[in-house]
Structure 1
Amino acid sequence: MHSILGAVNKLIGGNKLSILIYHQVLEQFDPMRPYEVTADIFNWHMQLISKHFSPISLSEAADHIKNNTLPKRAICVTFDDGYLNNLTVAQPILAKYKIPATVYVATAFTEGADMWNDRVLDLFKDANLTSLIIENKSVLLGDWDNRNRLAEEQLMRLKYLSIEERLAGVQQLYDDNNLPDPTPRMMNAQQIKQLSETGVEIGGHTVNHPILKVLSKELQFEEINRCKAQLEGWTGKAVKHFAYPNGSYGKDLTDETVQLVKDAGYETAVVTDWGTSSYGDDLHRLKRFTPWDTSPLKFHARLLKSRL
């Protein structure tokens, strides 16, 4: 069946670039993060990509798009946020299959603080807890499906607040329940440099991972430019690529945001709107695809469908 899908891919795959979005690659399945791939799943993802597609770096892809020279079945692998397991779990698998990658880092989380959304998810992860105080009410947690539903409600409540209000809201949840933070899961500056030295491209993802659309132009400028300066200081390399937090064009970013990213000197930027990119497309609004399937055939078929 893969050979048939591969043949179809050869017919439809020319002059289009697929960009995959990952966040974490987990050593073991996490019931509060059922959408994150495990090392086993990521391994066969990369094995399939190496066999049936043409993996290239984002820098190579940008040059090909500008020059209308994209190879057939071109694909890029990207990671958002800057998790430590991108270095410890994902990078050895990428190296095994000789697949380039880009990791977009939100720089505020390099000194021991987890991202706000992970802190929320971890509140609901302790199987020994049967209830939590949420907005001054005691809420029963129940099974994993209910815990995920409750966590999603809190994520949506907090997501579009200002940076300060969002962080305060998360901290209030921890204070109300008298719970400590879990072990940090993000890379520090030294680990980011280590990952860069393996050949993985490091990209910007703002400082605090805000929804840029809700910020003033001045605050957007600060988030976009300070992130770039920090990463270049840590890696000693130019940071050429950017990922908009959350990343839905129109909902999470505007044309003003796109122009600020261009003015900051980023050569490319990616959104989370699904699709492919090709010659003539805006390099600062490259589309991406989230590969959630846990079956190789479904993964292969869905990836082909995204290229139609």
Structure 2
Amino acid sequence: MIVRSIAGALSPSGQRARLSIFIFHRVLSQMDALFPGEQDARRFNEVLSWVGQWFQVMPLDEAVSRLGAGTLPARAAAITFDDGYADNATNALPVLQHHGMAATFFIATSFLDGGRMWNDSVIEAVRVFRGKELDLSHAGLGSYCLESHEQRRVAIESLLGHIKYFRPYQRQEAVAKIVDVAGARLPDNLMLRSEQVLALRNAGMQIGAHTCSHPILEKISDDEALSEISNGKVGLESLLGEPVTHFAYPNGKPDVDYSAKHVAMVRQAGFVAAFSTAPGVAMQTGDVHQLPRFTPWDRTRSRYGMRLLANMRRSAPQVVASTVA
């Protein structure tokens, strides 16, 4: 096993260990014709079979604790999910259990029990639009031909990219215009219900915080950011009846989506560890409140493994963290 051998050399046990943290979002029931590259249950099962052969997959809290203590085993890895999609419980959980693996689910609490993330509102509005052209030019968002899945996919990617870094109220207004023009009736079952969060925990999975409404922290005020970080934690702790000690930054790019002041806020809120979406692997010398995560996008076993090994050689970017909020 070439990947396993090289991974062991790159990440020996002890103080020189490197922790590979995988990040996922959704596990669909079956392939989505609009997004054929999105992961479904069959694909997730295949990926976990590879990961299980190459790495020692551990619960995230144990992995982070042993990283700090310098006692990680060789080829250590952990699995995480962001946002809180319902298919994490219906599709991902059975596959994880089949492989005997635990994952941590970072949940944005405002979307529990019937909520919907803004990007999904855009995706579903374009998906169900019955016409051949979606004209949003009056809203400054362009006009899109939607005669094929490819054209709809291009339209979605363009719209998401255009409004992603709007201020929250501007983004909300833009999404509302898209939904209105599309005449869309949007689904209310995309995100987890509270009882599913409890079921994940009761099945041996771990729950982490991901703010309340998943804002890009750099685009809101400091007071709003601290409230989002703290209240997301409090809401989950109230639901679970236990401490929530891990946090994932929404969107998660250092110096783009969050900065040093947000790292300080996360510490202030009492989180033991926090996670970005910067590529690379976690090392004992890194900031425990900016641990990197990465997942290859390759479709074949060999390319997936080679990209993982390349990632294990990377130094993860971080913001220069402050010690006060």
TM-score, length-normalised on structure 1? 0.95
Report the more deviating stretch, 175-184 or 132-141.
Answer: 132-141
Cα-Cα RMSD: 1.5
Tell me which residue corresponds to 1:46.
48
**2:138 paired with 1:140:** no
Identity among equivalent positions (%) equals 34
Pairing 1:68-107 to 2, within 5 Å after superposition: 68-107=70-109
Tell me which residue corresponds to 1:243.
248
Distance 1:203 1:54 in 2: 21
Report the more deviating stretch, 22-31 or 131-140.
Answer: 131-140
Tell me which residue corresponds to 1:118.
120
| Deviation for aligned residue 1:128 | 4.6
Distance 1:6 1:139 in 2: 46
Please point out which of 162, 186, 205 is paired with 1:200.
205
Distance 1:79 1:35 in 2: 17
**2:26 paired with 1:24:** yes
Tell me which residue corresponds to 1:181.
186
Contact kept, 8 Å, 1:203 with 1:243, in 2: the verdict is: yes
Letter in 2 for 1:70: L
Pairing 1:237-276 to 2, within 5 Å after superposition: 237-276=242-281
Contact kept, 8 Å, 1:32 with 1:121, in 2: the verdict is: no
Contact kept, 8 Å, 1:9 with 1:73, in 2: the verdict is: yes
| Deviation for aligned residue 1:228 | 0.4
Contact kept, 8 Å, 2:168 with 2:219, in 1: the verdict is: no
Deviations 1:159-212 (A, max 9, x none): 112222212221111112222112421001121111111111111111111100
Distance 1:129 1:101 in 2: 41
Aligned length: 306
Letter in 1 for 2:2: I
Contact kept, 8 Å, 1:57 with 1:76, in 2: the verdict is: yes
Letter in 1 for 2:240: T
Q: SS in structure 2 opposite 1:26? A: coil
Distance 1:129 1:231 in 2: 41
| Deviation for aligned residue 1:138 | 5.1
Structure 2: which 5+ residue stretches go unaligned?
Answer: 314-325
Structure 1: which 5+ residue stretches go unaligned?
Answer: none
Tell me which residue corresponds to 2:312.
307
Letter in 2 for 1:90: A
Contact kept, 8 Å, 2:57 with 2:77, in 1: the verdict is: yes
Distance 2:186 2:18 in 1: 43
Please point out which of 215, 230, 238 is paired with 2:235.
230
| Deviation for aligned residue 1:55 | 0.4
Distance 2:182 2:120 in 1: 16
Distance 2:248 2:65 in 1: 18
